[in-house]
Structure 1
Amino acid sequence: MKEFDAIIIGAGQSGMPLAKKISAKGLSVALIEKRAIGGTCINDGCSPTKTMAASARVAHLVSRAGDFGVDVGAYTVNQKNVKKRKHYIVDLFRGGAAKGLEKSEQVTIVMGTAILQSDRRVHVEREGQSDLVLSAKKIFINTGSAPRTPEIEGLADCPFLDSTSIMELEETPEHLIVLGGGYIGLEFGQMFRRFGSQVTIMDMASRLVPKEDTDVCEEISCIFKEEQIATKVSIEAKKVSFTNGKITVAYEDAEGNGSVTGSHLLVATGRTPSSGALGLEAVGVTLTDSGHIAVDENFETSVPGIYALGDVAGSPPFTHMAYHDAYLAFNRIYEGNTSLSKKDRLVPYCVFIDPQLARIGLNEEQAKAKGIPYHTGKFWMKHAGRALETDETKGFFKVLVDPESRQILGATILSMDGGEIMAVIQMAMVGKVPYDQIQHLPIAHPTLAESLNNLMGQVKSTNG
């Protein structure tokens, strides 16, 4: 048995930074990873998907070259080279992450599958090598999540794709059916439409992005319609069949029964926490009804000395929040700084459709549900100078402010580089900058950010 000060299961976006921080205190850390350093983000999440989305955007811009006075001939999308470029970026990021860990002298990387034996011991199964048993005073779990497969008749017998396997395609689908109209489904749907596929997105919700305000959904729907992406909402998938190389999804909606047939099927119906194969129940770790590991403010589970962070612990499912979990956990557990808390923290996110959809704080539906009074402002990109100059005029900026304090309650940015603008508003919220100060702030011209002047000037004096 090898003994350490801490064992971390999962080298993802909580596990890696936490290992480095603990190591920097002169403590020994065993970092166990069963698949690849970097977790979902680097290997089959953020990095590869956004790399492919960049290729799709280039294809889209080439198709629009004439709008900018540039004449080009016919072009083709080489899916093999798109995949090759994606692999290059993943290898680059994964290698960088591994080198960063190697610089931490107190971190020992162990490749294998971890199973808890007790509140202090972990059994590691290693392919082609003898198993190990490790012990530590503290155990941290950062095993993330995996694509969820819904129970639909016939699905298991069909060669469907998930958000990982679709990025390994070496051919452009003739007709891609996307089951799931959430953020993942929208990103891949638009991406492959721009690669040249016919795309149909299907979802049981009454509209796309149902967690967003209605006007956001309507604008995204218009953008997708303009790009000839078909959408079917308020449907229930009843059966999937595979015949003569084609996949058919039979569904039911308010009008009765229908079906869609395509060459490929992407199942993007959410993710499930990777908590099932860790031996948690045997050592008494409590799970929630959704399968997440239940934790307290210190990220500690029901078993003292065992902690969980990131997706598997039910934190907001974003890389930056997993990274922030590591920051909070380290400071609370090892530095004794309990003033830092995950409670009521701002959760920014960006959906990398084009234009980007970025959110911070409350939207209108949430404010109404909580009974929070607000004023709102909205500024359309079709009136923004920078957007007109670049011919990227889809979408809008939207902000909610407190009528009394003039503080920003939240914002939705649906625009080119929306995530960058959202970060500016996030910093204003953290710094408690009143909205009307931003309204009169001299922001460099001509930039997209200067539209924040216009946005704050549009704040209405009537409650929403």
Structure 2
Amino acid sequence: MKKYDAVIIGAGQSGMPLAKKISAKGLKVALIEKRVIGGTCINDGCSPTKTMVASARVAHLVGRAGDYGVNVKEFSIDQKTIKARKNHIVNTFRGGAIKGLEKAENIDIILGKATIKGSNSIIIVREGQNDLEIKGDKIFINTGSSPFIPEIEGLKGTPYLTSTSIMELEETPRHLIILGGGYIGLEFGQMFNRFGSKITIIDKAPRLVPKEDKDVCEEISKIFAEDEITSHLDTSVTKINFENNQFKVHLEGKSGTKTVEGTHLLVATGRKPNSNDLGLEPLGVNLSKKGHIAVNDIFETSVPNIYALGDVAGSPPFTHMAYNDAHIAFRSIYEGDKDISSKDRLLPYCVFIDPQLARIGINEQEAIKKNIPYKIGKFFMKHAGRALETDETSGFFKVIVDPESKQILGATILSLDGGEVMAVLQMAMVGKVTYDKIQNLPIAHPTLAESLNSLMMQIK
């Protein structure tokens, strides 16, 4: 039985960098993966979806080329080519990830399904091979998450789509019904709308992306309505039928009952942690009510020498946060950093609708809930020079600041390239640059970032 210094279950965006960091110290690492190297991000998350979003944006710009004085007689969508381009990017990124791991010394990549049998023993079931048992001084779990499918009468057994399977379509849906008005539902809804599909979004919440401020949600709803995307909010799905290649979704809301019919159905109602079948409960590893592995600020579980990282541990479900989990765990465990922790770390994220929705720190509704004193500044893109020049004037910048210290507490950027602008404010927050210093800072003209001057001048 082979013994390792560290066994990592799951080659995702925590597992891969952690394996390389540990192996670089001359320690032996086993990296176990039951599906494909790279995790959700590379294979069916960030990389493929943003590749398809790029195709959708091109379709959108070509469709309004006349606004820019460019006359395009006609164009069509080739869903097979879009899929092939997506697959090429996935294969390229996955291949790069595999090469990076193979270059590293002291890493054994083992393909198979892992079950923990003791505090340091793992059984791996391998297809076409005998089961393998290994031991590890420390065990790290990075098994990620998968689409959550709700219990709805009639749904089971229908050819519904998930955020993974929808990217395998080789035809453009005539009418795509989406269950879920969160980030995943919005990205796919706008994407396929631009490919030519009729889109209907259904959600129990009273507004789209309810974690965002009300004015942000209202602006996104306005943008989607202008694109003729239909939203049924505050609405429950009571039953689903599938007959003659057609979905019939039965709805119940404040205005009564109704049905919506469509050719395709995407279930985008969230994700669940992949914590089942790992053998955790007999070991005494604690789980949350939602199935996340309970960890402390340096990702230790309730059992010594077993750790969990990324989505499965309830970390914010973003690649960059999973990567940061690996950094924190490594520094704490292998470099003895007593100060590093996941507590109170800044959370940046970007939703790749158009315009992009980017967030850093707290928003206004969180400040109110936590009784934090604040001032806000808000600057609309319809007044921004760069946005006017590119004719992309939807959205706004919004910043939350401390009235006493003048420190930036958070920002929401809903604009063209919003994620890039958000990163500038993130660095200002880390560097403790006060908002008044940004007011008169000379920022290159004409750029989107230049509008940060105007944003800070709106603080009241």
Which TM-score band applies after superposition, normalised by the shorter structure?
over 0.9
Deviates more, 1:420-429 or 1:294-303: 294-303
1:57 matches 2:57: yes
Letter in 1 for 2:415: S
Equivalent in the alignment of 1:10: 10
Equivalent in the alignment of 1:77: 77
Equivalent in the alignment of 1:204: 204
Q: Secondary structure of the equivalent of 1:373?
A: coil
The gaps in structure 2 that reach 5 residues or longer are none
Task: Report Cα offsets for 1:17-67 as digits up to 9, x if no partner.
Answer: 000000000000000001111000000000000000000000000000000
1:315 matches 2:323: no
Q: CA RMSD in A?
A: 0.5
Task: Report Cα offsets for 1:180-203 as digits up to 9, x if no partner.
Answer: 000000000000000000000000
Q: How far does residue 171 in structure 1 lie from its aligned partner after superposition? A: 0.1
Equivalent in the alignment of 2:217: 217
Equivalent in the alignment of 2:452: 452
Letter in 2 for 1:350: C
Q: Secondary structure of the equivalent of 1:114?
A: strand
**TM-score normalised according to structure 2 size:** 1.00
Equivalent in the alignment of 2:112: 112
Q: How far does residue 99 in structure 1 lie from its aligned partner after superposition? A: 0.6
Matched residue count: 460
Distance 1:385 1:54 in 2: 24
Equivalent in the alignment of 1:332: 332
Q: Secondary structure of the equivalent of 2:136?
A: strand
Q: How far does residue 308 in structure 1 lie from its aligned partner after superposition? A: 0.2
1:235 matches 2:230: no
Equivalent in the alignment of 1:404: 404
The gaps in structure 1 that reach 5 residues or longer are none
1:254-265 matched pairs, under 5 angstroms: 254-265=254-265
Letter in 1 for 2:129: Q
1:135-146 matched pairs, under 5 angstroms: 135-146=135-146
Equivalent in the alignment of 2:183: 183
Equivalent in the alignment of 1:34: 34
Q: How far does residue 157 in structure 1 lie from its aligned partner after superposition? A: 2.3
Distance 1:83 1:305 in 2: 42
Distance 2:24 2:152 in 1: 49
1:195 matches 2:201: no
Q: Secondary structure of the equivalent of 1:117?
A: strand
Equivalent in the alignment of 1:388: 388
Task: Report Cα offsets for 1:256-292 as digits up to 9, x if no partner.
Answer: 1111000000000000000011111122211111100
Distance 1:296 1:338 in 2: 14
Q: Percent identity?
A: 70
Q: How far does residue 2 in structure 1 lie from its aligned partner after superposition? A: 1.2
Q: How far does residue 298 in structure 1 lie from its aligned partner after superposition? A: 2.2
Poorly superposed stretches of 4+, deviation over 3 Å:
none
Q: How far does residue 74 in structure 1 lie from its aligned partner after superposition? A: 1.0
Letter in 2 for 1:33: E
Distance 1:87 1:296 in 2: 37
Equivalent in the alignment of 2:170: 170
Q: Secondary structure of the equivalent of 2:272?
A: strand
Letter in 1 for 2:25: K
Distance 2:247 2:449 in 1: 45
Task: Report Cα offsets for 1:127-161 as digits up to 9, x if no partner.
Answer: 01111101010000000000000000000021100
1:265-284 matched pairs, under 5 angstroms: 265-284=265-284
Q: Secondary structure of the equivalent of 2:118?
A: coil
Letter in 1 for 2:41: C
Letter in 2 for 1:67: D
Distance 1:135 1:453 in 2: 57
Equivalent in the alignment of 1:152: 152
Letter in 1 for 2:276: G
